[in-house]
A and B are shown apart, each in its own frame.
Chain A
């Protein structure tokens, strides 16, 4: 496998579905971070055949990892400190999602007032249903985009 240097402190996102790393790059707003980010596409994986990996060298609390639970809860999140994995974070569905997905209801106030945050609330954790905070429209898109 292609070697990318070890992290001293940061986060490694492993087992990303092959080809989805750029979506996650955008959703985690990694483009706005002023730190070292490595994206490995189509790495060989025993479990998945092919997978993507993202390595981010930054303090852990810089990233909103909750959103990963919404995107794909199969992603493995390794927290790195002093060059070692100190925690494998379990992903959970976030209770609220801000500005990641957009309400598609043409009658929703967010369609008229562009400066409003797009907020979705976890309405049913069992069925993994999210609803727009304003109009309560169900999110019908694919989460694992």
Chain B
């Protein structure tokens, strides 16, 4: 039985097969509409997340399966003090697969160690968010035609932004990827990503503060939101939250084929006027998120790509 804790749990070959399956689901959704009949997905969300939870639920419903779960710790047995391990032992009796989001880092791993069913990490604190990474990779590969030889700018909260950490770890496995890390001094990429992932892999990367400086060289711009829930101090959050705003005038500095990605939800970091720009790919990205979660769940349930 396989779980998914980090995008690195899948080899490059396995990942390519999952993305192929996702593309096939996109083209032939009717072929997969009944694949998960009789299967149940448990969505155990200990912190609020409309988007990821609905994406998982939509994915299972589109496969013909059913869904149960909770969407905040208050409405779960965690409020009574139950451990993650005990919760998953019980949920293993009710469902066939589980997606877990938890504010504490490593909670889904604890669950996977006690679980009788596949566990998917749907985001654990500032640590990992592997299905967002699969979504990002599927979007890039589908819209750019490749995952290698790209220059990607990652902008905003690179310190706490788990989507950024996971995406970097996943992309260093491909040749010729260049990274431009755009952030204020206080939200720079953590040392372990800079040293153990970027430097260790030998990929080219630069760190800049000004978005305008980076834009002309990018094939992709990955914007992130400064997340209030990651700050212990309100003052720091207020100072950082509007540091970057991508608007029409900044988009004029970008290449005509540069794509703008964002894990969503956005707040102020992308002006609404950018939505009409054909390079704005973030809503399409949300659509790809459903396809890739369908492909992943099929595979972890032994109904898709062989992950054994």
Taken together as a complex, chains A and B put the C-alpha atoms of A138 and B84 apart, in Å, by 23
Contact of B110 with A116 in the complex, beta carbons under 8 Å: yes
What chain B residues lie within 8 Å of A107 (beta carbons)? Answer: 103-105, 125-127
Classify the interface of chain B: helix, strand, loop or mixed: mixed
Contact of B127 with A135 in the complex, beta carbons under 8 Å: yes
Task: Pick the contact of B105: A108, A113, A138 (CB < 8 A).
Answer: A108
Could you tell me the distance in whole angstroms from the C-beta of A111 to the nearest C-beta in chain B?
A: 7
What chain B residues lie within 8 Å of A102 (beta carbons)? Answer: none
Closest to A110 in B: B106
Q: Which residues, 162 to 210 on B, are CB-close (under 8 Å) to A?
A: 191-192, 196
Taken together as a complex, chains A and B put the C-alpha atoms of A113 and B81 apart, in Å, by 9
Taken together as a complex, chains A and B put the C-alpha atoms of A83 and B127 apart, in Å, by 52
B225 on the interface (CB 8 Å rule)? no
B159 on the interface (CB 8 Å rule)? no
Contact of A109 with B110 in the complex, beta carbons under 8 Å: yes
Closest to B6 in A: A136
B102 on the interface (CB 8 Å rule)? yes
Taken together as a complex, chains A and B put the C-alpha atoms of A16 and B282 apart, in Å, by 59
Contact of B104 with A108 in the complex, beta carbons under 8 Å: yes
Contact of A108 with B196 in the complex, beta carbons under 8 Å: no
B83 on the interface (CB 8 Å rule)? yes
What chain A residues lie within 8 Å of B104 (beta carbons)? Answer: 107-109, 111-113
Query: CB-CB contacts of B124-148 with A at 8 A, as 1s and 0s?
Result: 1111000000000000000000000
What chain B residues lie within 8 Å of A110 (beta carbons)? Answer: 106
B223 on the interface (CB 8 Å rule)? no
Taken together as a complex, chains A and B put the C-alpha atoms of A89 and B132 apart, in Å, by 47
Contact of A124 with B196 in the complex, beta carbons under 8 Å: yes
Taken together as a complex, chains A and B put the C-alpha atoms of A135 and B107 apart, in Å, by 9
Contact of A133 with B106 in the complex, beta carbons under 8 Å: yes
Task: Pick the contact of B106: A108, A115, A124, A129 (CB < 8 A).
Answer: A108
Task: Pick the contact of A135: B84, B125, B191 (CB < 8 A).
Answer: B125
Please, how many residues of chain B have a CB less than 8 angstroms from a CB on the other chain? 17
What chain A residues lie within 8 Å of B214 (beta carbons)? Answer: none
| Interchain pairs with CB closer than 8 A, number | 51
What chain B residues lie within 8 Å of A134 (beta carbons)? Answer: 105-107, 109-110
Contact of A136 with B192 in the complex, beta carbons under 8 Å: yes
**Contacts A107-B126, A113-B83 known; A135 to B106 CB distance under 8 Å?**
yes
Could you tell me the distance in whole angstroms from the C-beta of B157 to the nearest C-beta in chain A?
A: 15
Most buried by B among A111, A129, A135: A135
Query: CB-CB contacts of A104-122 with B at 8 A, as 1s and 0s?
Result: 0101111111011000000
What chain B residues lie within 8 Å of A105 (beta carbons)? Answer: 105
Contact of B127 with A136 in the complex, beta carbons under 8 Å: yes
What chain A residues lie within 8 Å of B126 (beta carbons)? Answer: 107
Taken together as a complex, chains A and B put the C-alpha atoms of A109 and B127 apart, in Å, by 11
What chain B residues lie within 8 Å of A113 (beta carbons)? Answer: 83-84, 104, 110
Could you tell me the distance in whole angstroms from the C-beta of B102 to the nearest C-beta in chain A?
A: 7
Taken together as a complex, chains A and B put the C-alpha atoms of A132 and B124 apart, in Å, by 14
Write the residues of chain A forming the contact surface with B, with a CB cutoff of 8 angstroms: 105, 107-113, 115-116, 123-124, 129, 132-138
Write the residues of chain B forming the contact surface with A, with a CB cutoff of 8 angstroms: 83-84, 102-107, 109-110, 124-127, 191-192, 196
Q: List 21 A-B contacts (CB under 8 A).
A: A105-B105, A107-B103, A109-B84, A109-B105, A109-B106, A109-B107, A109-B109, A109-B124, A113-B83, A113-B84, A116-B110, A124-B196, A129-B196, A133-B106, A133-B109, A134-B107, A134-B109, A135-B106, A136-B127, A136-B192, A137-B105
